[in-house]
Structure 1
Amino acid sequence: MSPRTKEQNDAIREMRMNQIMRAAAEVYLEKGIQLEVRDVAVKAELGYGTVYHYYKNKLMLLEDLLWDALNRTESAVLPVIQGDGGGLLKAESFSKLLLQSCIQDPSVFILLKTVADNFHHFPGNRFSKLFAEFQQRVYLPFAGMIREGTDTRLSEQRANLIFGSLVGYAALNIHHNMRSEMDADGIVDMIFSGIRSKESKGNGHT
């Protein structure tokens, strides 16, 4: 039997990494920061030694999971960020994509929930760079859309409120196994209809 080529080894590595990442996300939803590398190996149906070969401890594993989730999150909302227009309509489209990504990809939900919790489960400043990158690549573009479409005095407060509402709604559904019933468009429409109503009243419209 001839030895594997570099390309074959790279393909196997990528397959294993994806398998481990999917399992880590599932275990994290069940156990939170209490997860262990051994738990991930069991969920992935891989030997402990195989997973340990890639990750010597759970913080290394979670760090990779969250960085990968950041890239996935940015990819999901990039069409809106790079698209034409602005204001609340653009922010609403952004929010729908973000919530849909939470439904479809547990790692995206874990990232958003971890950011919303300010990484308080994680030791030291290990994730400060990740937080800064999330702000720059995801949150600040969203906050800018809100600023364009609302009273600037309240734009940051509203951006935080919307972000927190999306994370909270996703958490409620994910932890009760209701993902298939989640109406992402409906919940975002409800949030933004309230904001548009307040803006209209604030501008003297009826």
Structure 2
Amino acid sequence: MSPRTKEQNDAIREMRMNQIMQAAAEVYLEKGIQLEVRDVAVKAELGYGTVYHYYKNKHMLLEDLLWDALNRTESAIQPAISGDGSSLLKATSFSRLLLRNCIQDPSIFILLKTVSDNFHHFPGNRFSKLFAEFQERIYLPFVAMIRNGIDSQSSDKRANLIFGSLVGYASLNIHHNMRNEIDVEGIVDMIFSGLQSKEN
């Protein structure tokens, strides 16, 4: 049997890392910051040593998980940011995409919840760069949509309230195993129903 090529090794490495991160997200939803690398290995059905080969500790694993989730969140909301329509319409589309992906992808939910909690479970300030990137790539574009779309002096507070409502609603559904029952359209319509568009 011939040795594996570099491409084959790279594909195996990527598959293993995805398997580990998916398991880590599931364990984090169950145990929070109390998760251990051995828990992730059990959930991923991998040897403890295999997981440690990729991640020396849980903080390195969670950091990778959150950065990957940030990139996937940005991809998920891109249609709303680059789409046509009024700012308020784009903000509504952004919210639907964000909530739908938050419910479907545990790592995106973990990112949003962790940012909302200001990383208070994590030691030191190792996530300050991630927070800054989240603000620039996800949150501030949303705030700009709200600011440009509604007739209010407190648009920043409204954007924060909407964002918090989406994360809170996702949290309730995820922790009560109601993911398949969520009415994304109805929830977002209800959240936005009280906003007065500048165009009216």
Shorter-normalised TM-score: what interval? over 0.9
Once the 2 structures are TM-superposed, how far is the Cα of residue 112 of structure 1 from its aligned partner? 0.3
Aligned with 2:194: secondary structure?
helix
Counterpart CA distance in 2 for 1:151 and 1:56 is 50
Report percent identity of matched pairs. Answer: 82
Shift of 1:85: 3.0
Q: CA offsets per residue over residues 18-75 of structure 1, 9 Å max, x none?
A: 1001000000000000000000000000000000000000000000000000000000
Q: Tell me, in whole angstroms, the C-alpha distance in 2 between the residues paired with 1:152 and 1:6.
A: 57
* Residue of structure 2 equivalent to 1:67: 67
Which sections of structure 1, spanning at least 5 residues, go unmatched? none
Q: CA deviation at 1:84?
A: 2.3
Matches of 1:115 and 1:136 in 2, distance apart?
13
* Counterpart Cα distance in 1 of 2:7 and 2:102: 32
Structure 1 counterpart of 2:122, which letter?
A: F
Letter in 2 for 1:19: Q
1:123 corresponds to which residue?
Answer: 123
* Count of aligned residue pairs for this structure pair: 200
Equivalents in 2 of 1:133, 1:85: separation in Å?
Answer: 26
**Partner amino acid for 1:184?**
V
Note the alpha carbon deviations across 1:122-156, whole angstroms, 9 max, x for none: 11110000000000000010000000112352111
Alignment root-mean-square deviation, CA: 1.4
1:107 to partner: Cα distance: 0.3
- Amino acid paired to 1:54: Y
What is the aligned partner in structure 1 of residue 79 from structure 2? Answer: 79
- Give the Cα separation in 1 of the matches to 2:184 and 2:63: 28
Report the AA paired with residue 87 of structure 2: G
- How far apart in 1 are the matches of 2:144 and 2:86? 9
Q: TM-score, normalised by structure 1?
A: 0.94
Structure 1: which amino acid aligns with 2:188? V
2:20 pairs with 1:12: no
SS at match of 2:119: coil
Match of 1:150 in 2: 150
Q: Is 2:18 the partner of 1:31?
A: no
Distance in 2 separating the partners of 1:51 and 1:152: 50
1:187 matched to which residue of 2? Answer: 187
CA distance in 2, matches of 1:93, 1:84: 11
* Correspondence 1:156-171 to 2 at 5 A: 156-171=156-171
5+ residue gaps in structure 2? none
* Cα separation, 2, equivalents of 1:156 and 1:145: 10
Structure 2 distance, partners of 1:49, 1:184, is 41
State the TM-score, normalizing by the size of structure 2.
0.97
| Deviation sequence 1:91-139 (CA, Å, 0-9, x none) | 0000000000011100000000001001111111100000000000000
Residue identity in the other structure for 2:141: P
Deviation at 1:83, TM superposition (A): 1.6
Q: What residue identity is the alignment partner of 1:35?
A: L
Q: Which amino acid in 2 is paired with 1:27?
A: V
